[in-house]
A and B are shown apart, each in its own frame.
Chain A
Amino acid sequence: MEETGAVFRKELVSKLLHLHFKDKKTKVSGDALQLMAELLKIFVVAAIRSVRQAQAEGLARVDVEQLEKVLPQLLLDF
């Protein structure tokens, strides 16, 4: 299988997390940011692959209806 090259940049992950922290003093270690970037990527790829699996054969476009079908299960897993 090909290796996917797109990543969530650590800076972006940091900003995304800090946006929602209640305490200003909360920080995130570099390793934790790295793991979070992985987790987000896995989350997105899982969503993408869920949609693909739900896709009927022969269809060339994936639409929101497919995503809506698989999203509840995906969110429950997390």
Chain B
Amino acid sequence: MTEEEEWSEEQQSFSYRQRLKAAVHYTVGCLCEEVSSDKDMQFSKQTIAAISEVTFGQCENFAKDLEMFARHAKRSTVNTEDVKLLARRSHSLVRDGFLSSLPFPIRIHYSQLITGIHEVIPPGHLALKMRHASTTQTCL
């Protein structure tokens, strides 16, 4: 590949990422509007942008974990068990009573998500559990 072609490919993947970020930003904006519509509250553009950035960034962690979970189960297709495993730590959101502040329909879906939590992680899976140990500082 020539340098020119490399540069063009880089530009294309950059604008692809930008388009995905914009799509996330749009959805986050809609959610902000809906959640705050009953109260007399506005969200600054920077806040919406910040939530979008974090959400987009989290997708990288989610994707890598999901891929790893599926591979660990010797599958090439990520399924709902992998997603439930991904959501297991959100259990703390339930413990702290955070769940009660979420709108009712979301609460229902959420409890469906966490019913599949694995209670015991066998020792052989310790490596999987420790995978984030070296990368605990996330973007902020």
Contact = CB atoms under 8 A, between A and B. Distances in A.
- Do they bind each other? yes
A19 B17 contact: yes
Contacts of B90: 42, 77-78
A29 B63 contact: no
25 contacts: A2-B37, A4-B103, A4-B105, A6-B33, A17-B63, A20-B63, A21-B64, A21-B67, A22-B67, A31-B80, A35-B80, A36-B83, A39-B87, A42-B90, A42-B109, A42-B110, A48-B35, A48-B43, A52-B39, A60-B42, A62-B41, A63-B44, A77-B89, A78-B89, A78-B90
Interface in B2-27: 17, 20, 23-24, 27
Interface in A19-54: 19-23, 25-29, 31-32, 35-36, 38-49, 51-53
Contact of A62 (B37, B47, B60): B47
Contacts of A9: 27
B82 A32 contact: yes
- Tell me if A's interface is mostly helix, strand, loop or mixed: helix
A15 B59 CA distance: 10
Contact of A12 (B20, B79, B86): B20
Interface string B65-80: 0110011000011111
Given A38-B113, A77-B90, A78-B58, A19 B63 contact: yes
B67 A68 contact: no
Nearest to A16: B59
B34 interface: yes
A66 B47 contact: yes
> Chain B: interface residue count, which band?
35 or more
Nearest to A55: B41
Interface of B: 17, 20, 23-24, 27-28, 30-44, 46-47, 50-51, 54-56, 58-64, 66-67, 70-71, 76-80, 82-84, 86-87, 89-90, 92-93, 98, 101-106, 109-110, 113, 138, 140
Interface residues of A, number: 57
Interface of A: 1-9, 12, 15-23, 25-29, 31-32, 35-36, 38-49, 51-53, 55, 60-64, 66-68, 71-72, 75, 77-78
